Structure 1
């Protein structure tokens, strides 16, 4: 099922959080369109524990193409938003749990998996073209992992 990119009913705070949700829905459903809609095209950067991916080409190659095909589920909590009324930029933090299985193996109770816990710090901007909030810089601090790291590493 294709997810809508823009949702008409969002209040400002929810619209600011929405690019995080769009990105993770894109990863979990292997939907490049909704994934890319979450990122500020000319300014996007993803930093995972000091490994920085600058620009959509690097983010697609090292994140989407790697995680999107897997059987994954990302769960977000403790989201906090800092935004001044009328500003076109904001900052949020969140916690995440993410379960990862090799493609097609998520329903196999005996298969290897990787569960991770992370904290996110995300700068977002409002795109003047389509009016959507987008991720400018996402800093992910992987705090712990449980399971098989080879699931998320290229072979």
Structure 2
């Protein structure tokens, strides 16, 4: 993705700078969880409550980013590669709010655990080379097992 080689005019980003960005996002998620006392069990329940259809949608979006089709459009096509990184981050922010809405049904009434679960999904989608490994699905399966399937839903709004 961002190796700092070739492509586009203007400032370039490197794998190192992308890792710093991801680390900053992880730190922000951890800080938010700490400030709102999100427990591991609350996270488990929030992540397990994501409908299976939404998990599959996230996997397709993640695969589209990682297969190069979406990253090429966002990162390689703009004349400035840094602008491409900004596009990818904006797409992840939009995805974060979409997942938050899917989990809670109302963004304004979202719990802190739902915010953290949505942020984890958005971060997994943003990170390169995760779309071909189904990490989002495997995490969802693990959380569903941990909660004994109590929060299992197939479609949003359908239990």
TM-score, structure 1 as length reference: 0.27
Higher RCO structure (Cα 8 Å, ≥6 apart) = 2
Q: Which structure would you say has the larger Rg? A: 2
> Larger % of helix: which?
2
